[in-house]
Amino acid sequence: MAAAAATMVSSAGGLLAMLNESHPQLKYHALSNLISFVDQFWPEISTSVPIIESLYEDEEFGQHLRQLAALLVSKVFLLSICLYACSCGDQMLVVA
């Protein structure tokens, strides 16, 4: 019995390129997979936030595709906020 080889993903570049394709299925595939890798590649994904936001805003796409785009952008922003919040040390003001 042969063991399946694990695939290492070193970049989100290929998936991000798929967001520019014309076929909605390719965009769906890209968004679904980017959501899976967002914890690892959010800085790289953040450079494509305008493209992802435009997918969300495009009413020609189905509700599910638009929701995936919104989820991905939200996760990128949340991870970015957490990084900076944790990096500001005692300068962070907590307002109750």
Task: Indicate whether 23 belongs to any domain.
Answer: yes
Output the tens digit of pLDDT for each of the chain's 96 residues. 555 555 677 899 999 999 999 999 999 999 999 999 999 999 999 999 999 999 999 999 899 999 999 999 999 999 998 888 888 877 776 665
End-to-end CA gap in the chain: 59
Task: Indicate whether 47 belongs to any domain.
Answer: yes
Task: Indicate whether 92 belongs to any domain.
Answer: no
Residue 66 is predicted with a pLDDT of 96
Tokens representing 2 are 């042969």
- In terms of residue numbers, what domain contains 27? 13-80
Task: Indicate whether 89 belongs to any domain.
Answer: no
Backbone torsion region of residue 10, taken as left when φ is above 0, otherwise alpha when ψ lies between -120 and 50, otherwise beta: alpha
Structural domains of the chain, count? 1
Task: Indicate whether 8 belongs to any domain.
Answer: no
Backbone torsion region of residue 93, taken as left when φ is above 0, otherwise alpha when ψ lies between -120 and 50, otherwise beta: beta
Taking alpha carbons only, the member of 2, 34, 4 closest to residue 16 is 34
Distance separating alpha carbons of residues 55 and 65, to the nearest angstrom: 8
Residue 7 is predicted with a pLDDT of 66
Task: Indicate whether 57 belongs to any domain.
Answer: yes
Residue 55 is predicted with a pLDDT of 95
Asked if 12 and 34 touch (Cβ cutoff 8 Å), the reply is: yes
Task: Indicate whether 95 belongs to any domain.
Answer: no
pTM of the complete model: 0.82
Backbone torsion region of residue 89, taken as left when φ is above 0, otherwise alpha when ψ lies between -120 and 50, otherwise beta: left
Q: What is the DSSP letter of 21?
A: S
Task: Indicate whether 5 belongs to any domain.
Answer: no
